[in-house]
Amino acid sequence: MNLLNVSLHRLIAGLCCLLFTLPGICRQSDSPVTERLSLAVFDVDATPPVGSLLAYDPMDKKDDLGLRARGIVLIGSGLPIVLCSVDWIGIGNESQDAFKARLAKAASTLPSRVAIHTVHQHDAPISDWGAERLLVSAGLDANAFESTFDRALLNRLEEAIEKAVGVAQPLTHIGTGKATVDRVASNRRIKGPDGKIQYSRTSSTKDPKIRNFPEGLIDPEVSLISFWNEEQPLAVLSYYAVHPQSYYLTRIANPDFPGIARYLRQLAVPEALHVHFNGAGANVTAGKYNDGAKINRKLLAERLAAGMEQAWRNTTKTTIEPQSVHWAHEDVLLPANEKVPEIAREMYRQQARWLTNNMQKLAWYHRQQRGKKISVSRLSLGDARILHLPGELFVEYQLAAKAERPDLFVAMAAYGDYGPFYIGTSAAYAEGGYEINASPVTAAAEPILMKAIRKLLQDPPTDYGQYSPYLHESETSLPIKTLEQWEEKKRAWENNRAAIMGTLPSREKRVPPALTYLDTLTEDRFTRYHVSFPSDERNEVTAYLYIPHESRLRPAMLALHSTGELGKKIVDGQGPLANRAIARELAERGYVVMAPDYPGFGEQGEHDFSTDGFPSGTLLGVWNHMRCVDVLTQLEAVDPDRIGVIGHSLGGHNALFAAVHDKRIRAVVSSCGWTPFAYYDIGEAGTKRYGGRLGPWAQEKYMPAIRTQLPDAVLPFDFTDIIASIAPRPVFTNAPLRDSNFSVEGVKSGIEAVQPVYSWLGFPEHLKVRYPDAEHDFPPGVRKEAYAFLDDYFGFIPQKKLAFE
């Protein structure tokens, strides 16, 4: 029985278990403790040393409370989930990437399962390595963005999380409670008779006329979500939307009134770690109740703490099981205000405080132009939902989220990725005001964010992969719970592939190949270069390289041809068959494209497989394709973080082979390229001709090691574990209903087996398949969907729509 059949057998057994047990539970009575939930908590001093630069001033001394970085690690439902809140003003762009990566590493999870937020106190550091890089590269001082202490904090956090995970406690219950906070929050934006913003009620408003306007639109509730081991509280997360300042520019690093309120609650319930998150408070301040008098910091803190205390008293506890915990996220590309690039010219003339308020916007703009999306995520805990949003959001987003699901307990943390700064509602952009004038996004941000919020607030699936045998520890039925365990399973699959394909040579001392330009063809939207380059000491790659005009940092695609003597000319549209010109089409749409000849075809038609030094033609193809990626990553026209592969038939499975060996390939489109080997059927005559059902795969241009296992070869690997190994990178499959080469029924069974992996990793929509009513072909309608799939993932707007689009 091959791996697919074993996997399907286990999957069927798991489904039978579901049918004959309580809904949502597939566990034997002697269920091991390892299948339960557990919680780890961490708390790190995030106060920089005296003499450091805070966001707006040098730091002269510390506050008694100092600044904290606190959070939890939730273990036992898929890979661990990390929530962290830091008493800083903001963590944006490349710093968000770095924090998520390091916290994920410490917790043995994926960065996509980490939410890192700031409370947004202003007498505190700001972190944006992208802004730092822009300033330094312009010959300017990094000022508040200098990152030495950021890196020190990351070291502390990583160490603290690793220790915390080692002593995680059982998690049996969660608690939810909310209460009204009295006389703290008021709306910042006060309209005049014309509907435009006339006054801004800042955090400390000295003018009594402005203070005396009505409180305005706020969310008066503080929400608490607590985590329990039976009767023992482990952690309490609080959520409240308000700018967290009473007064600032003190040169003293301090957590202001939310930090004091958190401290008061820590004193009241010392058994639990108290972690505070600021909600959508961009247009909400304490200005109505704060004239800047120093005593108001204490008063505001006591009022917020009183609300937290009442929410604690109102808390209702419920049991929590692994299947009631679910993480999901939607990656969004927010629209950019085209005035943001002006910051690049203005930064040479401005002072440090201006740079603090603007450089992260410029860094975000550059990322936005490269299609770099921002994650909006949601943690489901039974009937509770925690939303994690970027930037300084208007309170209307928080209120809309709660109104969307009044049947649930909804809490929101904003001030995630600080890059997009202020994010108003669509209506607000016509009203003006400070926040809108400072916003780097446009009014079109609202429908994008609200679409993501609504989708995330939908009920999660009841089973998102935790019962799939692909997600069990090797040789056991225990679920995989850490990234290390998952990587270990993938290494086993890698070894199985190597037994048939062979092992790649070392790439440690390889340098990017030098291109030889053989010919040039200039067309309306791109230039096609005919190139060659050595892939190693014995082998050469010949290819077409398509560069759209005026290209810089564009996504790039490796376009792999199907079987045919023409080789790369097929994907250029020079062959007799329609629907094959994928390289040319992608180039017309604005992608940089490289289309190489596969060994044995095109200009490589006379390739001698006996002397190339590779154990299989398949592995040489992989090596050559990786060398193509080496070339692409060095081109000024290419964004090295946006490289994909697409192929039909021979190119379809080589696309998968290339991606599973090369993580730089971020997205895959495979057309008519695979079916599980158990479904590969060439008929009686073909079986006799090739010496076995899998005989065609044993040719020297593919995997000749299969010959030794004919006629009844059962391979130690399959396409399903190849796709599972590529996950969660996007894979789009075209599987026509009448494909005589690759069984569509096999594809359907394979997708069913692999889909739980994508769901478990948190990227269910990254696995797409289409079943057109066609033969062995790549019809226009499916190509349209495949190209849109790539566009969406890469955040790319094509420069031209093709006729069939």
* Whether residue 288 is found in the same domain as residue 430: yes
Given this model, what pLDDT does residue 3 score?
32
* Whether residue 386 is found in the same domain as residue 515: no
Question: Which sign, positive or negative, has the C-alpha torsion 241, 233, 159, 58?
Answer: positive
Q: Which alpha helices (H) appear in 20-167, and where do they start and end?
A: 94-107, 129-137, 148-166
Question: Which sign, positive or negative, has the C-alpha torsion 402, 408, 413, 417?
Answer: negative
* Whether residue 497 is found in the same domain as residue 440: no
* Whether residue 437 is found in the same domain as residue 512: no
Q: How many CB atoms lie within 10 A of CB 478?
A: 14
234 close to 41: Cβ distance less than 8 angstroms = yes
Residue 278 DSSP SS3: strand
370 close to 642: Cβ distance less than 8 angstroms = yes
* Whether residue 525 is found in the same domain as residue 578: yes
Segments of the chain scoring below 70 in pLDDT? 1-34, 463-466
Taking the whole predicted model, whether its pTM rises above 0.85 is answered as yes
* Whether residue 401 is found in the same domain as residue 518: no
* Whether residue 434 is found in the same domain as residue 582: no
794 close to 584: Cβ distance less than 8 angstroms = no
For residue 576, give the CATH number of its domain.
Answer: 3.40.50.1820
Provide the residue type at 369 as one letter. Answer: Q
383 close to 459: Cβ distance less than 8 angstroms = no
Q: Is residue 534 a part of any domain in this protein? A: yes
Q: Is residue 5 a part of any domain in this protein? A: no
83 close to 42: Cβ distance less than 8 angstroms = no
* Whether residue 536 is found in the same domain as residue 666: yes
Given this model, what pLDDT does residue 35 score?
73
Given this model, what pLDDT does residue 4 score?
33
Q: Is residue 202 a part of any domain in this protein? A: yes
DSSP character string of 437-488: HH-SB-TTHHHHHHHHHHHHTSPPPS-SSTT-GGGBPTTSSPBP-SHHHHHH
* Whether residue 375 is found in the same domain as residue 420: yes
115 close to 86: Cβ distance less than 8 angstroms = no
Q: Is residue 480 a part of any domain in this protein? A: no
**Bridge pairing between strands 81-86 and 68-75:** antiparallel
Helix, strand, coil share of the chain (percent; to 5):
35, 25, 40
Given this model, what pLDDT does residue 465 score?
63
How far apart, in whole angstroms, are the C-alpha atoms of residue 652 and residue 616? 18
Q: Is residue 270 a part of any domain in this protein? A: yes
Q: Is residue 474 a part of any domain in this protein? A: no
Q: Is residue 461 a part of any domain in this protein? A: no
* Whether residue 380 is found in the same domain as residue 527: no
* Whether residue 212 is found in the same domain as residue 265: yes
Given this model, what pLDDT does residue 19 score?
31
146 close to 797: Cβ distance less than 8 angstroms = no
Q: How many CB atoms lie within 10 A of CB 402?
A: 20
How far apart, in whole angstroms, are the C-alpha atoms of residue 429 and residue 664? 39
* Whether residue 187 is found in the same domain as residue 267: yes
How far apart, in whole angstroms, are the C-alpha atoms of residue 223 and residue 280? 13
Q: 576: which 2 tokens?
A: 């007799």
Q: Is residue 649 a part of any domain in this protein? A: yes
Angle between helices 483-501 and 617-634 (to 10 degrees): 120
Domain residue limits at 298: 25-456
How far apart, in whole angstroms, are the C-alpha atoms of residue 533 and residue 512? 10
What's the domain count of the chain? 2
